[in-house]
Structure 1
């Protein structure tokens, strides 16, 4: 077994490099597994994986720097600052029960309006919408579209800001989005149609 200080330091450095692009908690678990394999002598297998991950992330970084693809134009993802209380979660559920949540765009729009009305957020982002969605899933809210990734919410928000889609219910504001005037009018129409049906 390779347990001297230099080999151990190299193993830690290699394992950290291999998992740097991952998110928690996967990052910690992958680091533990890789470090264990490196220390036990499976260095060749782990190192090949490290090289593959490094090449892939370098290619993705180069693509983003060149501006290729849609992801480069999106506002960078960050963790949601939301932490709704039990009462706020109940309000979220009853708020959403008033609407028929069909598709990611409409769901994102409804959740953005909830955040506008019931939180102190100045601007929302895809992570905030995803947070609300995950809370609704945990509350066993049955009328939800299936969405698995924050990127799906980011795409829906982009669509809600696009002039070509003739919606523009959201608009950019700093490092997030706010409801536009057209969005406020549309939301009032949605509320009116629910009140008459």
Structure 2
């Protein structure tokens, strides 16, 4: 009998209906709605990859819910991350479409990321080093208008003082460190996930139609 679950998370079945509902709510529409025999194979392949992609988003949400419970964080009110939200293109580029979609749709994933960010400690020396190595980001508007070369030791008046930008730099570095911690957590958390046939990771090299970009 074909499994009625998309994956097993710590032995608990994640119903295929979760993936189907998420996909029907959030998958792009239009392309492939009217399929001819000529492009039926391409449509079927696209649908498989969309299903695998959606499975990863749902699994990430389910894993994040368990992580939040283990950390004593308030549970999300919704049962599934079903709201259709806009995913910033920069997030897709920085995070990959799976994690970007999970963070956009899953309150649990966002809560976990926020908790990880609160745990990050950025040493003062690292913050100062970032400021010193990225002077181009801290030129004053007047210096930019004059075309000051940020890579040629700009004069102190041409850059925002460290004290004025220090907190913003630290926050940016904490945010980046939290994202890396989220990636590490997710890699560990889904290592033992068992997928039903047709719901494997879209980048799984054991699959004949795997994709590295997802």
Which TM-score band (shorter chain)?
under 0.3
Normalising to structure 2: TM-score of the pair?
0.22
How does the TM-score come out when normalised to structure 1? Answer: 0.23
Higher helix share: 1
